[in-house]
Amino acid sequence: MKILVVDDSATMRRIIVNHLNQAGYTDLDEASNGVEALSRLSGVDLILTDWNMPVMDGLTLVKEVRHDPNRSEEHTSELQSH
* Band of pLDDT at residue 77, cut at 50, 70 and 90: low
CATH classification at residue 18? 3.40.50.2300
Q: How many CB atoms lie within 10 A of CB 12?
A: 15
> How many domains is the chain partitioned into structurally?
1
Question: Domain range for residue 64?
Answer: 3-79
Give yes or no for a contact between 50 and 78, defined as CB atoms under 8 angstroms apart.
Answer: yes
Q: pLDDT digits over 16-30, tens only? A: 999 999 999 999 999
Read off the pTM: 0.87
Side chain identity, residue 52 = N
Three-state secondary structure along the chain?
A: CCEEEECCCHHHHHHHHHHHHHCCCCCEEEECCHHHHHCCCCCCCEEEEECCCCCCCHHHHHHHHHHCHHHCCCEEEEECCC
